[in-house]
Copies of this chain bind each other. A is one copy, B any other.
Amino acid sequence: MNVRAGGQDGEIPDENLLDHDDCALVRGVLARAGDKWSILVLRILGDGPTRFNALQRAVGGISQRMLTVTLRHLERDGLVSREVTPSKPPRVDYALTSLGQSLREVTEPIGQWALANRGEIEGARIRYDAADL
């Protein structure tokens, strides 16, 4: 979020930070990536093009409608491509676009972070919840 290159450590000088509008953009991306099914779908599509029903089976627990909605969102943002093969029965393959792949790469560190810090997060929650019963 902060645009300076270089240093990794604690203090972050101001200026050079994203303005309010840019935050909305970032938030939009995070919100899309953070909705209930998107990352699951993105992950599975990372294995290669997949058909609708295969996707639904792979995700597990997603309703048809939510899969459709999720795919539409991802498609709209140019993260996923949709290829129709008119046959009988019809066949539709979804795949990651290069944009989608690049997003996956960038979100991956967050996965690492979440795994590395899950204990801390859960601990913090337990402490917090215990504090004000």
Contacts and interface: CB of A to CB of B under 8 A. Distances in A.
B26 A30 contact: no
Interface of A: 1-5, 7-10, 12, 14, 16-18, 20, 22-23, 25-36, 39-40, 42-44, 46-48, 60, 75-78, 96, 98-99, 101-115, 117-118, 120-121, 123-125, 127-129
A60 B20 CA distance: 9
Count of this chain's copies in the oligomeric assembly: 2
Nearest to A124: B78
A27 to B, nearest CB: 6
A23 B1 contact: no
Contacts of A46: 1-5, 12, 17
Contacts of A5: 46-48, 96
B115 A18 contact: yes
A8 B111 CA distance: 16
A110 B111 contact: no
